[in-house]
A = this chain, B = another copy of it.
Amino acid sequence: MSIVTLVTDFGTGDGFVGEMKGVILTSCPAARVVDITHTVKPGDVASASWILERVWSRFPAGTVHLVVVDPGVGTDRVPLAALVAGRWFVGPDNGLLATTIGPVEEAYRIDARAMEIPPPSMTFHGRDLFAPAAAWLASERTPSGLGAPVEPAALIRYTPPEPVRVGDSVRGEILRTDHFGNLITNIPSGWVAPTALVEIGGEVISGLRTHYEMVEVGELVALIGSGGTLEVSVRSESAAARLGVGRGADVNVRVVRD
């Protein structure tokens, strides 16, 4: 299997992603390069984590997820390839490769000398180090040829903010405002009773619905989104614009499922 997916904060306007694609296809002509997103806000590890968590398991085992959101390029942060749940994650060691996805099975420090490729530039490891490493793995070359093994426990771990139970309530927050303006929280479905009161942006929504069209156009609705957490929407409009809130804002749920 030779799927290589791309998650970056490079945008598509400059050709940086194109350079990476060329490097991958030159080194592994059979690779199938799949764009996930290139519009992560520059350096926004939290957003990249949120996206990666949704996407990674939808691809088959053997997929290489190339994840380059790398504010620390050129510093001594470690360039890594990590095997988690049968997929390879390639990118800088800034937390994304050892998120809550699952235990890291093996990891290697990507080393241009070990791979016998030219020394990387100081500002574009996506092209010079991570794309070659992804192509290496997509070609089913021996992972240990990438460089020295790294103890999985040593990887930096990004932990998204977690909801907290306080008595009969749950206090969580908005993790994501999506393309439609839906406000996606970190409160898992199992913590929210169908009759719960959801407090967000100064409004209270009474009870969950199952889908957007159960309320009138322009009306607030709380439901369990496709990622399995509580989501607040406005039918056919942007809840973010309507409530004037976004990432990090508090969400309270009263009356919790037992």
A residues near B, CB below 8 A?
1, 3, 5, 7, 10-23, 25-26, 29, 32-40, 42-43, 50-52, 54-55, 57-60, 63, 71-75, 121-124, 127-128, 176, 178-180, 210-214, 223-226, 231, 236
Contacts and interface: CB of A to CB of B under 8 A. Distances in A.
Copies in the complex: 3
B43 A179 contact: no
A111 to B, nearest CB: 18
B13 A179 contact: yes
A74 B72 CA distance: 43
Nearest to A54: B15
A58 B212 contact: no
A58 to B, nearest CB: 3
Nearest to A214: B74
Closest 10 CB pairs of A and B: A74-B211, A22-B58, A124-B226, A11-B179, A18-B36, A15-B51, A22-B59, A18-B55, A122-B211, A121-B226
A28 B68 CA distance: 27
B12 A72 contact: no
Contacts of A33: 34
Nearest to A27: B60
Contacts of A43: 236
Contacts of A26: 58-60
Contacts of A36: 12, 15, 17-18, 21
A38 B37 CA distance: 11
